[in-house]
Copies of this chain bind each other. A is one copy, B any other.
Amino acid sequence: MSEIVNREDLDFLLYDVLKTEQLLKTDRYAAYDRDAITAILDTAQNIAEDLYWPDAAAIDAEEPRFENGAAITHPSIKPALAAYAEAGLFSAGFDEDIGGMQLPMIVQTAANGIFSCANISIQGYALLTAGAANMLNAFGSDAQKAAYLPPMMEGRWFGTMCLSEPHAGSSLADIRTKAAPLGNGRYAIKGAKMWISGGEQDISENIVHMVLAKIPDGPPGVKGISLFIVPKFRLTPDGEIGAANNISLAGLNHKMGYRGTTNTLLNFGDDGECEGWLVGEPHQGLRYMFHMMNEARIGVGHGATMLGLAGYLHSLQYAKERPQGRQPDNKDPNTPQIPIIEHADIKRLLLTQKAYVEGAMGLVLYCAQLVDQAAISSDEAEQKRLGLLLDLLTPIAKSWPSEYCLEANKHAIQILGGYGYTRDYPVERFYRDNRLNPIHEGAHGIHGIDILGRKVRMHNGGAVLALREEMQSTIAEAEGIDELSNEAAALRQSLDTIAATIQSIVSAQDPQRELANGTLFLDAFGHVVIAWIWLMQGVAAKKRAERKTASAFTDGKLRAMRFFFRYELPKTDLAFSLASRMDQTFAQAQADEFTGSA
The listed residue (B255, B337, B339) touching A171 by CB distance below 8 A is: B337
A344 close to B574 (CB less than 8 A) = no
Report B-chain residues with C-beta under 8 Å of the C-beta of A352.
Answer: 586
B596 close to A6 (CB less than 8 A) = yes
Q: How far is the CA of A50 from the CA of B205 in the complex (A)?
A: 49
Which listed segment binds B: A92-100, A424-432, A489-497?
A424-432
B170 close to A445 (CB less than 8 A) = no
Which listed segment binds B: A71-79, A145-153, A587-595?
A587-595
Least distance between A306 CB and chain B CB atoms (Å): 15
Least distance between A431 CB and chain B CB atoms (Å): 7
Q: How far is the CA of A588 from the CA of B348 in the complex (A)?
A: 10
B418 close to A169 (CB less than 8 A) = yes
Report B-chain residues with C-beta under 8 Å of the C-beta of A440.
Answer: 418
B351 close to A589 (CB less than 8 A) = yes
Please tell me if A188 contacts chain B, counting CB pairs below 8 Å. no
A553 close to B596 (CB less than 8 A) = yes
A594 close to B431 (CB less than 8 A) = no
Least distance between A593 CB and chain B CB atoms (Å): 3
Q: How far is the CA of A164 from the CA of B351 in the complex (A)?
A: 27
Contact with B along A318-358 (1 / 0, CB 8 A): 00100111111101111001010111111111111010000
B417 close to A443 (CB less than 8 A) = yes
B556 close to A589 (CB less than 8 A) = yes
Q: How far is the CA of A141 from the CA of B420 in the complex (A)?
A: 39
The listed residue (B170, B220, B566) touching A324 by CB distance below 8 A is: B170
Contact with B along A161-184 (1 / 0, CB 8 A): 000100111110110000000000
Least distance between A319 CB and chain B CB atoms (Å): 8
Please tell me if A1 contacts chain B, counting CB pairs below 8 Å. yes
Least distance between A179 CB and chain B CB atoms (Å): 17
A589 close to B8 (CB less than 8 A) = no
Q: How far is the CA of A417 from the CA of B444 in the complex (A)?
A: 10
Report B-chain residues with C-beta under 8 Å of the C-beta of A566.
Answer: 578, 583, 585
Least distance between A477 CB and chain B CB atoms (Å): 23
Please tell me if A552 contacts chain B, counting CB pairs below 8 Å. yes
Least distance between A462 CB and chain B CB atoms (Å): 22
Given contacts A170-B325, A518-B345, contact A418 B253 (CB under 8 A): yes
Least distance between A530 CB and chain B CB atoms (Å): 16
Q: How far is the CA of A169 from the CA of B593 in the complex (A)?
A: 43
Please tell me if A464 contacts chain B, counting CB pairs below 8 Å. no
Report B-chain residues with C-beta under 8 Å of the C-beta of A563.
Answer: 585-586
Least distance between A348 CB and chain B CB atoms (Å): 5
B329 close to A593 (CB less than 8 A) = no
Residue of B nearest to A551 (CB): B596
Least distance between A407 CB and chain B CB atoms (Å): 10
Which of A334, A418, A598 has the most chain B CB within a 10 Å cutoff? A418
B589 close to A254 (CB less than 8 A) = no
Least distance between A212 CB and chain B CB atoms (Å): 14
Given contacts A439-B414, A578-B567, contact A422 B316 (CB under 8 A): no
10 smallest beta-carbon distances between A and B, as pairs: A221-B333, A553-B596, A556-B593, A345-B445, A552-B592, A171-B325, A173-B333, A344-B587, A329-B511, A256-B428
24 pairs of residues in contact across A and B, judged by CB atoms under 8 Å: A9-B596, A169-B417, A194-B418, A253-B418, A255-B423, A257-B421, A343-B445, A344-B586, A345-B444, A345-B518, A347-B586, A348-B520, A414-B439, A414-B445, A421-B436, A553-B597, A554-B596, A556-B593, A556-B595, A559-B585, A559-B589, A563-B585, A566-B585, A567-B574
A interface vs B, CB < 8 Å?
1, 6, 8-9, 164, 167-171, 173-174, 194-195, 220-222, 253-257, 313, 316, 320, 323-329, 331-334, 337, 339, 341-352, 354, 406, 410, 413-414, 417-418, 420-424, 428, 431-432, 435-436, 438-440, 443-445, 448-449, 453, 510-512, 515-516, 518-520, 551-556, 559, 562-563, 566-567, 570-571, 574, 578, 583, 585-598
